[in-house]
Amino acid sequence: MIKAPPSKWFYPILALPLTALLWLPLPVLHGLSDFLRWLGFRVLGYRKEVVMKNLRNSFPEKSEQELNQIAWKFYQNLFDVMIESLAFVRINKQTILDRVELHDLEVIEKYRKSGQAYILVGGHNGNWEWAGQRMHLAGHEINVLYHPLSSKWFDWWMFTIRSRFGVQPVPMQSILRVMVAQKNDFDCYAFIADQTPSSENCHWMEFLNQDTPVFLGVEKMAKKFNLPVVFSDVYRVGRGRYVLGYRLVTDKPQEEPDFFITETHTRLLEQQIHKQPEAWLWSHRRWKHSRKKNDA
């Protein structure tokens, strides 16, 4: 079992002012999010150049006015998710049950009931932090992969929040060891697979009209341990309200051709983004690598 990162005695003290702020009611915190959106988009232009470039390249058919409307909505989603995720430090279980609705639960319930572990893959859509917590509250034991943050204090803070109800955060570099040790002790290994991999260890494909490197980790782990793969849909349906659904990628990973799993879950994410583009993480530098000539 992965232990919590070693905490210093002053970490909780540093967290007190932020924790006090986050005890405000969610409607008040969403008002704060509105102010941060105005400040980040209109005044400071926080990563605005990255956001607009990503949107223009992804949706060349849309006008500049349409892209600006998507960007404005995106900044609301961005700051809502940031505040809602931090507020999880004090949010109770009933709030998550009320605000995250589960659809198509039968897709994963059969694995939980039979004791079959599976891989859940998704992207940075809606509030992905709340989505994992809602699954755990539905009875699924979950390992959530994450990249440790450079700030030790903030990494401690996020680990504390994510593990509060029993979800088990696992550093990306430890996942192989954990999967070997746990076997079927956990129901689910959750991957967020839309981050940027190194250009040496990836699969290249067209994604959102752009040549894009995609992580192979989901496919490799699924085939190595013969685990079913399920895609997770997360849609925003209101302020602090989300719908979480599931779609099967494969039940027989070892029988699938190379890159089938990778391309399928990436296409499902692309469909999700087209349905609700403002809910994806456009501020991420997703296309910072270019394909080398020998990879073409």
Q: Is residue 10 domain-resident?
A: no
Q: Is residue 117 domain-resident?
A: yes
The dihedral region occupied by 259, where left means phi > 0, alpha psi between -120 and 50, and beta the remainder, is left
Q: What is the CA radius of gyration of the chain?
A: 19
> 122 forms bridges with which residues in the sheet?
192
**136/286 Cα distance (integer angstroms):** 29
Q: Between 22 and 208, where is the model more confident? A: 208
- Residue whose tokens read 């879950």: 265
Q: Between 292 and 32, where is the model more confident? A: 32
**15/153 Cα distance (integer angstroms):** 9
Band of pLDDT at residue 289, cut at 50, 70 and 90: confident
Residue 41 scores a pLDDT above 90: yes
Number of structural domains in the chain: 1
Q: Is residue 265 domain-resident?
A: yes
Q: Tens digits of per-residue pLDDT, 45-85?
A: 999 999 999 999 999 999 999 999 999 999 999 999 999 98
Q: Is residue 11 domain-resident?
A: no
Enclosing domain of residue 145: 23-295
Does the predicted TM-score (pTM) go above 0.95? no
